[in-house]
Structure 1
Amino acid sequence: MNRKITAILVDDHAVVRAGFRMLLASGDKIEVIGEAARGEQAIQLYQDCRPDVVVMDLSMPGMGGLETIRRIIQRDSAALILVFSVHHEQVYVGRALNAGAKGYITKNSATEMLSEAIDAIMRGEVYVECGLLKNPHANSDANDHQAVLAEFSPREFDVFRLLAEGLTAQKVADQLCLGHKTVANYATQIKKKLQVDTTTELAHIAVNLGMLRR
C-alpha cells in the first residue's frame, strides 16, 4: 500500500481547518498531521513535522501568509506549499507564487480541486485554479500600480492591503503585531512608492486592482 501524502493545515479559523481536515480525510491518499493558526506556528510545525505539503491561507494575524511562505522556503527550498484562499485577485496569486508557493486555489473552488491541486504539486507541477491569472480588464494605471506592488516586501504588501481596507494605522499595528511607529513608516514608504498622499487613494488603487469591491 502506498504511503499517504502528509499535510499540515494553516488557517486562523478552527472551523475552516476542521472543514479542510474532513475534506481531505474523505479520500484515502492524504493524512493531516498538524494544524496551525498563525504563520509563526506554521514555520515551527513545518520544521517539527516535515510534511509533504502545506495547505495555507494568506489572511492571518501576525506574520501573514505571504511572509510565512517566504520563510518556509528560505528554510527548505523544496517545500511544497498550496495556497487555499478567499482572495481570487491576480495580485495575490502572483505574490504567492513569487514567494515560493507551488499552487493557488480559492475557497469557493470545487471540493475535488483541493486534492487535485495537492496531487499536481506532489508531481512537481505548479497548479493554479483556472482563470486566476487572467486579467482582461486591466488598464494601464492598474498595470503600473501592479508593477509597483510586485516590488513590495511581504510586510509592505500586508500594510498596504489593510490600510486600503480602511483600517487605521493603530489597528494595522495591532493586527500585524507591529509598533504604531513602524506601521506609520511603512505607510509613508508605500504612499511614496505609489505616488499618492492619502489612504483614500490607496483604496482607489486596491479597487482598480480588484482587491476591493467598489
Structure 2
Amino acid sequence: MINVVLVDDHQLVRSGIRRLLDDAEDIQVCGEAASGEEALKLIKQCQPDVVLMDVNMPGIGGLEATRKLLRIDEQLKIIALTVHVDEPYPSRLLEAGALGYLTKGCDEDEIVSAIKTVVKGERYIGADIARQMALSGLSGMKKNPFDRLSQREVQVMMMITQGHKVQEISDVLCLSPKTVSTYRYRLYEKLGVENDVELTHLAIRHDMIDQLQ
C-alpha cells in the first residue's frame, strides 16, 4: 500500500483529490495538511511514501516545504500538484528535489500513474508541463523575468507578495532580517521594480502568484 499525504491550503481541493485516490486499491491518503508548516509536522507522524504538494500556499509555500521535507526524509517522493504551468516553477521544484510535477487539470489516472512512477524513484512530468519547459528553452521565446532568480530569491519573492514582513520572512526561512532585506533589493534590481507593489503586479502578470490568493 502506498501512503500519500495531501498538502494544499484549500480544503475543497484536498477533499476532491482524496475522493479520486480512494478508488485506487493500492493507494491510501494517510494525512492532510493546509500549509508547508503543517506538512513538516505531519510527515514525522505519518511517514508517507509520497506527498502531493501545492506550490502557492500561505507561509513557506511548496518550494521551501519541499526542500525542508527532503532534509527530514531524503527518501520521500514529492509531486508538485499546482495550477502553475509556466517556468520557473517546474524547474525550481524539480531542482529542489521533487520527482513529479502535475497541473490540477490532470485526470485521476494521471495522478495515480504519477504516484506509482515516483514511488519507483522515477521522475514524472505532466505532458503539458514538459511541453512548456521545452518551449521555454527555445531561442526567440518570450522569457519570464523570474527565470533568472535563484530558488531562495523565488521563495523570498513569494513571501513578499503574500504580504509577509521582513521579520516574518526571517523567522520562517531562518535568515537574518538584514539578509532578507538584501534579497528584497536584489529582487528589485533583477526584475526592474521599485517596491513591493510593483513586484506583486509583475508576479501576477507572469502567473507567479494567483491574483485572488
Paired amino acid for 2:121: G
The answer for the alignment partner of 1:121 in structure 2 is 118
CA RMSD of aligned residues (A): 3.2
What's 1:31 paired with?
Answer: 28
Structure 1 letter corresponding to 2:84: H
Q: In 2, Cα distance between the equivalents of 1:206 and 1:40?
A: 23
Q: How does the TM-score come out when normalised to structure 1?
A: 0.78
Q: Quick one: structure 1 residues 70 and 119, their matched pair in 2 at CA, closer, same or farther if it must change by over 3 Å?
A: same
- Structure 2: unaligned runs, 5 residues or longer: 171-176
Deviation of the 1:60 alpha carbon: 1.1
Residues 123-142 of structure 1 aligned to structure 2 (within 5 Å): 123-132=120-129, 133-136=133-136, 139=140, 142=143
Query: Which amino acid is 1:72 matched to?
Result: L
Q: State the shift of 1:194 in Å.
A: 3.4
What's the CA shift for 1:188? 2.0
Asked whether the 8 Å contact 2:135–2:141 carries over to 1, the reply is no
1:150 paired residue number: 150
Q: Is the 8 A contact 1:67 1:154 kept in 2?
A: no
The reply on whether 1:71 has 2:72 as its aligned counterpart is no
* Aligned residue pairs, count: 200
* 1:7-50 superposed Cα distances (whole Å, 9 cap, x missing partner): 11111111111111100001111011111111111011111111
Contact 2:156–2:169 (8 Å) recurs in 1:
no
The reply on whether 1:5 has 2:6 as its aligned counterpart is no
Q: Structure 1 CA distance, aligned partners of 2:164 and 2:139?
A: 28
**Residues 159 and 112 of structure 1, relative CA distance in 2, 3 Å threshold:** same
Alpha-carbon distance, 1:212 to partner: 7.1
* TM-score where L is the length of structure 2: 0.79
- For 1:31, the aligned partner's letter is Q
Contact 1:39 1:60 in 2 (8 A): yes
Given that 2:3 and 2:28 are in contact with CA atoms closer than 8 Å, whether structure 1 keeps it comes out as yes
Instruction: Give the deviation of 1:190 after TM superposition.
Output: 1.0
- What's the CA shift string for 1:34-85, capped at 9, x where partnerless? 1111111101111111111111111111111111000011122111001111
Identical aligned residues as a percent: 34
Return 5+ residue gaps in structure 1 as ranges.
none
Q: 1:211 to 1:6 in 2, by over 3 A?
A: same
User: Structure 1 residues 210, 142: closer, same or farther in 2, change over 3 A?
Assistant: farther
Match of 1:190 in 2: 187
SS at match of 1:134: helix
Are residues 157 and 203 of structure 1, via their aligned partners in 2, closer, same or farther at CA, if it must alter by over 3 Å?
Answer: closer
State the partner residue of 1:22.
19
Deviation string for 1:113-164 (max 9, x for gaps)? 1101001101211101013122257757726x3442135445324146x2xx
Q: 2:93 aligns with which of 76, 81, 96?
A: 96
